[in-house]
Structure 1
Amino acid sequence: MLSSTLLQTLAVCLAGMLSAASASPCAAKSSDGCGKPLPAGQTRGGVASVNITSGSLERSFLVFVPPTYKPGHPTQVILSYHGGTKTALQQLQLDNLTSPEFNTQSMVVYPQGINDSWQGVPGVTINDVQFTADLLDHLQGQYCIDKQRIMATGKSDGAGFCNVLACDASLSTRIAAFAPVSGAYYVDTLPCAPETVAIPCQNGRADIPMLAFHGGNDSVIAYLGGERKNACLPTVPHWIEAWAAREHLDAANHTSPVAADTVVYQYSRPGEPSLVNLVYDSVNGHDWPSTLPNADNQNAGQAPTSFNATPMILDFFAKHPLTQLV
């Protein structure tokens, strides 16, 4: 039997659909694209390449439309940013977010960086924050998007760009949660003091959910940080502790096992679920963690991990919608 609260919500939603002027909770989280057919050439369960203009530049991204997509039902969107020197297609092939084993419900969007790189990497001057804002505007105008469930993940430089977005005053109010993998969190300062370097951040809201992954054997973006590309990489523990401090969480973390050689450091407030988390695999390298072979773990000296990051990311995103739309 439906609860009285749920019945009331359904009634308000129905009233909102019947009246365009109604400010119902359904309308509040729905985008302008609700009710529109899919763009020409796109199909449910398929991947399409899309071009838009951002800052006078032609930009592109891949969009995966989930097989369960309905034009009248607000759908979660996951932005997945490729690593440096990689492409949107390579990220799609890596993260398994379009695999029916893991995801049949969420739209997944793979932006393409100019010169295969992202804002936040030393020397990159392209405004990818604006590109992301323009991309979201495009998605919300063309598809039925749940504005409370826009998420971001990425690998390496793409993971570092997730941190740029989480620290942006505007985009941090549009993107609900973040899950960077093997992130390069550059700070533009030298000399480099990885354990104490000040990490600038202008996040526009409090309580930003963060689930990060990093390997202890990462030889590209070292877990203990250091100078790289004439900038400073903080140690990953220092970076995650800075996020916990920013969110006013307990300084001491709770450590839980995930799998062999892997733990998660969880930061929270007393009596509340963890908001900031770091999954640390002591033997993993610069990889997207997966129990199955992928483009990362087939490199020399690498192997599949004892856990799979993708379902953990999807579960984390499911638990952390935006609680208030700006």
Structure 2
Amino acid sequence: MFAFSLQTVAFLAALLSAANASPCTPKTTVTGCGKALPHGQSKGGVTSVNITSNGLGRNYLVFVPPTYNKDKPTQLILSYHGGTKTALQQLQLDDLTEPEFNTDSFVVYPQGINNSWQGVPGVTIDDVLFTNDLLDHVQTQYCIDAQRIMATGKSDGAGFNNVMACDAGLSKRVAAFAPVSGAYYVDTLPCDADNVVIPCNNARSDIPILAFHGGLDAVIYYPGGERKNACLPSVPHWIQSWATREGLDAKNHTVPYANATVIYEYSSATEKNLVNLVYDSVNGHDWPSTLPNADNENAGQFPTSFNATPMIMDFFSKHQLTKVL
């Protein structure tokens, strides 16, 4: 497992900070290829970075892959923490910095203001701007492959993945999304979870999505419903809406995957398995893992029969942007 000393964990946790942001216009991609790593950073290491977004301070953690070559464009994964959680806790949860799963991709862990994300009811922060500013900064510091910028996240962070995919700018900048236990709020009541219209302004009709959700999720219910004075669509309705949005067949193909787990795949004549939902009927509000983690060690929770992380890495490896901003 990827190990941190207690001093490193305390240092990173102390550096996590947050602030405001506002409306977004995606900016021109800038390359940092050929540059040495920033001072104090090393391959295989994690660093806390502060940037200015809209004149205010924001923060993220960045993992530099052990195999990084400053002259070779490298995949970047954005991983967003859940509500009330932190960037550091997401790093410790998702295993994307573990050598077993990843040795050649950057992983960036943005920190949300008040540990929350745009899209959650009552949150007025524009994290779309923050994400664009963060990507601009990262791409000036490292040799990033602009065609292979990916995003994942847990719960509210997964919900923000949906905000990004539905944003005209970021949907053209992020190649693929893998939300886990996502909270996909729609600002409307009363809540008809199986039919609610889900607003979306995606600028591409070929956005790859690999979503995960548990049938026993007691926080973000699989059938959806009212929460925080907003409407959570049922997860089947949410994933079907993406399939329709992307012109895929209305009927999914069900693939048995593991014990109590199936994958609902949506395809078309030209696009195979572009939109997918991994459904585990006995999983709760957890990041699926066969090993103990911060989610499944909670009372009433337990490891799953599969690991989400290698599935996400494999899914990302199959996709890239054909056009870059």
What is the TM-score normalised by the length of structure 2?
0.90
One-letter amino acid of the counterpart of residue 307, structure 1 = F
Asked whether the 8 Å contact 2:53–2:129 carries over to 1, the reply is: yes
2:34, 2:173 → 1: CA distance? 22
Residue deviations 1:144-196 (CA, integer Å, cap 9, x gap): 00000000000000000000000000010000000000000000001110000
1:76 matched to 2:59? The reply is no
Asked whether the 8 Å contact 1:216–1:281 carries over to 2, the reply is: yes
The match for 1:11 is none
The match for 1:89 is 88
- Secondary structure of the corresponding residue to residue 89 of structure 2: helix
1:315, 1:115 → 2: CA distance? 32
- Counting only pairs closer than 5 Å after superposition, residues 26-175 of structure 1 correspond to structure 2 as 31-175=30-174
1:221, 1:237 → 2: CA distance? 13
One-letter amino acid of the counterpart of residue 188, structure 2 = T
The match for 1:224 is 223
Asked whether the 8 Å contact 1:266–1:275 carries over to 2, the reply is: yes
1:185 matched to 2:184? The reply is yes
The match for 1:323 is 322
Residue deviations 1:282-303 (CA, integer Å, cap 9, x gap): 0000000000000000000000
Give the C-alpha shift of residue 33 in structure 1: 0.3
What percent of counterpart residues are identical? 76
1:271, 1:137 → 2: CA distance? 33
1:141, 1:116 → 2: CA distance? 26
One-letter amino acid of the counterpart of residue 163, structure 1 = N
The match for 2:240 is 241
1:298, 1:100 → 2: CA distance? 22
2:321, 2:314 → 1: CA distance? 15
Give the C-alpha shift of residue 272 in structure 1: 3.7
Deviating above 4 A after TM superposition, structure 1's stretches of 4 or more consecutive aligned residues are none
User: For residues 73 and 293 of structure 1, do their structure 2 counterparts lie closer, same or farther at Cα, with a shift above 3 Å needed?
Assistant: same
**Unaligned ranges ≥5, structure 2:** 1-28
Asked whether the 8 Å contact 1:264–1:279 carries over to 2, the reply is: yes
One-letter amino acid of the counterpart of residue 304, structure 1 = P
Give the C-alpha shift of residue 55 in structure 1: 1.8
2:58, 2:171 → 1: CA distance? 21
Give the C-alpha shift of residue 69 in structure 1: 0.4
1:270, 1:157 → 2: CA distance? 33
Give the C-alpha shift of residue 273 in structure 1: 1.6
Asked whether the 8 Å contact 1:76–1:106 carries over to 2, the reply is: yes
Asked whether the 8 Å contact 1:31–1:147 carries over to 2, the reply is: no
1:212, 1:299 → 2: CA distance? 22
1:144, 1:267 → 2: CA distance? 34
1:60, 1:42 → 2: CA distance? 16
The match for 1:8 is none
In the alignment of these two chains, the number of paired residues is 298
1:255 matched to 2:254? The reply is yes
Choose 1 or 2 for highest CA Rg: 1
Give the C-alpha shift of residue 56 in structure 1: 2.2
- Secondary structure of the corresponding residue to residue 196 of structure 2: coil
Asked whether the 8 Å contact 1:31–1:74 carries over to 2, the reply is: no
Give the C-alpha shift of residue 238 in structure 1: 0.1
One-letter amino acid of the counterpart of residue 232, structure 1 = C
2:309, 2:267 → 1: CA distance? 23
Residue deviations 1:113-167 (CA, integer Å, cap 9, x gap): 0000000000001110000000000011111000000000000000000000000
Give the C-alpha shift of residue 271 in structure 1: 5.6
1:32, 1:103 → 2: CA distance? 22
2:237, 2:216 → 1: CA distance? 17
Asked whether the 8 Å contact 2:30–2:136 carries over to 1, the reply is: no
Give the C-alpha shift of residue 222 in structure 1: 0.2
Asked whether the 8 Å contact 1:261–1:283 carries over to 2, the reply is: yes
Give the C-alpha shift of residue 31 in structure 1: 4.7
What is the TM-score normalised by the length of structure 1?
0.90
1:211, 1:262 → 2: CA distance? 14
